[in-house]
Chains A and B, each alone.
Chain A
Amino acid sequence: MDRRVALIKEFYLGLPTDRVKLEASAFGFEFLSQLQAHGMQLEYGELTLSKVLHKYKLANITQTQMYELLAWHVAKLCNVCLYFDRRANSVLAFNLDNNHATNGSRLIPEVQLAVRTLVEKLNELDCKPLVIASGRGYHIWCRLRAAIANDRLYRFMLHTAAGALLTLQRRGLDPNNMKFTLYPDLRIQDLVSLRLFGSEHAKNQVFSRILVGDDLLDEEASWAYFEDYLESNTLALDTFDKAYDAVVTSATPVIAKAS
């Protein structure tokens, strides 16, 4: 198996692999027939407005097929986007996007400041995050040694994200310019997927580079950093529990008082 595929499998372990959103430039009924010939089921497809990018929501995927899709992913033939487990996950992600309909790949000050604030906060909590350029903004991932119930993950992210939004407001920036999505989100967990590290963005052909400090690493350095992060920065559960207590439990009386 390709080393990069093995790393991705390991990092995203626990995310359901029987369904996927595939982003690809490939299209046509013959292409669909190839996907479906081995039992994959197309729920729906999409042609996006910008450039010729097709998205396919596929279900009923076997492990072997998932390996093949991930091999395509690292070969930059497509993007694999995975959904989150409905009950518990061992990864969480903040998705920060430019919220403007036009020129959406432009990096705006709101996203830059929110990323910086979130990274500082997560580091302060000993939850060192992995920050990946997404094309419209950044995905900020944390990885845990075991799965945690979604409602607990979501509460942690919600409180942490609220802190970042407060910082934006204090600096006079408009949070509405940024779209903030949390994964897993209990309300939309079966609806939205997140692109995995390790491929070129199908829309703009830019590799999913990793952000360290203010610098975006190149492709080779990003893979090295990804491997190192996987080995060294996966969170122990007690570390997450402490972070949760610091962010959620200690904040509750303040919220209650405010309301």
Chain B
Amino acid sequence: MLLARLRTIAVDLDDTLNNFTQTLHETPFVYHNRYALEPALFDEYLDRLRTDPWAVEELLSTEFSYFRAKIHLECYQRAQARADGIAFMQWLKREGWRTVICTHRDLRTSYDTTKAWLERNEIPFDYIFRAGNKIVFCKLWGIDILVDDHLFNIQHGGRYGVRVFYPVNDLNRTVREDGARGFQTFDQIKSWIAE
């Protein structure tokens, strides 16, 4: 009965609770042999990564995908947490919400880094999940609120009964919403989830 009464919210990490893209673009990554690449390829791959960080390739495991995983991992460590995001997550905890960190990250390789980052920033959470499709995940797990910046979720969440709240950024500023609401500060969500 207690489980049924708990309200649950799913919250994304990258470009929602942190500044992942800014970190990817502004960090002065320096060539090192741990990338297992020729120096010329390092620059080429870094440019490619910054142009299209989530490019889908035909092959799953490639030299580029290996490089991308390494750079992303560095970004996960370096990214800054949003102060209002931290305060919001702490508020959720105090209010008795069950919180699920819901991310696209490959947690096999990034779980330790992700957990350490959350703890370092004093962001409370109950579970961490990787979901290829967050709308499907939320629907299956009975989670009706998702905080996430991704266009796909903003556009499709409402149709499946998932209310999506998103930090407004250059990519989603003009998106046609389906019941989703953009926010400037996490504080705005508090009143929306009380509705």
Contact = CB atoms under 8 A, between A and B. Distances in A.
Nearest to A46: B130
B61 A179 contact: yes
B22 interface: no
Contact of B131 (A33, A43, A47, A104): A47
Interface residues of B, number: 28
A30 interface: yes
Contacts of B132: 47-49
A177 B140 contact: no
B127 interface: yes
B107 A47 contact: no
B92 interface: no
Contacts of A179: 60-61
Given A28-B141, A101-B59, A179-B61, A33 B107 contact: no
Contact of A44 (B6, B107, B133, B141): B107
B67 interface: no
B176 interface: no
A47 B140 contact: yes
A46 B142 CA distance: 16
B129 A27 contact: no
B109 interface: yes
Interface string A142-176: 00000000000000000000000000000000001
Interface string B100-119: 00000001110100010000
Interface in A32-65: 32-33, 42-49, 52, 57
B108 A191 contact: yes
B142 to A, nearest CB: 7
A47 B56 CA distance: 18
B171 to A, nearest CB: 22
Chain A: interface size category? 20 to 34
Contact of A43 (B3, B58, B62, B111): B111
A65 B133 CA distance: 31
- Dominant SS among interface residues on chain B: mixed
A247 B56 CA distance: 38
B8 A45 contact: no
B45 interface: no
A104 B107 CA distance: 21
Given A27-B140, A44-B130, A46-B129, A57 B107 contact: yes
A198 B112 CA distance: 30
A43 B137 CA distance: 17
Interface in A56-113: 57, 99-102, 104
A32 B132 CA distance: 20
B86 interface: no
A192 interface: yes
Contacts of A99: 59-61
A204 B107 CA distance: 23
Given A28-B141, A191-B108, A46 B131 contact: yes
B111 A28 contact: no
Interface of B: 3, 6, 8, 56-62, 98, 107-109, 111, 115, 127-133, 136-137, 140-142
Given A57-B111, A101-B57, 15 more contacts: A27-B141, A28-B141, A28-B142, A29-B98, A29-B141, A32-B127, A47-B129, A47-B137, A48-B132, A52-B140, A99-B59, A102-B58, A177-B59, A179-B61, A191-B109
Interface of A: 27-30, 32-33, 42-49, 52, 57, 99-102, 104, 176-177, 179, 188, 191-192
24 contacts: A29-B3, A29-B8, A29-B98, A29-B142, A30-B3, A42-B127, A43-B115, A44-B111, A46-B107, A46-B129, A46-B131, A47-B133, A47-B136, A47-B137, A57-B107, A57-B111, A99-B59, A99-B60, A100-B60, A101-B60, A176-B59, A176-B62, A179-B61, A188-B109
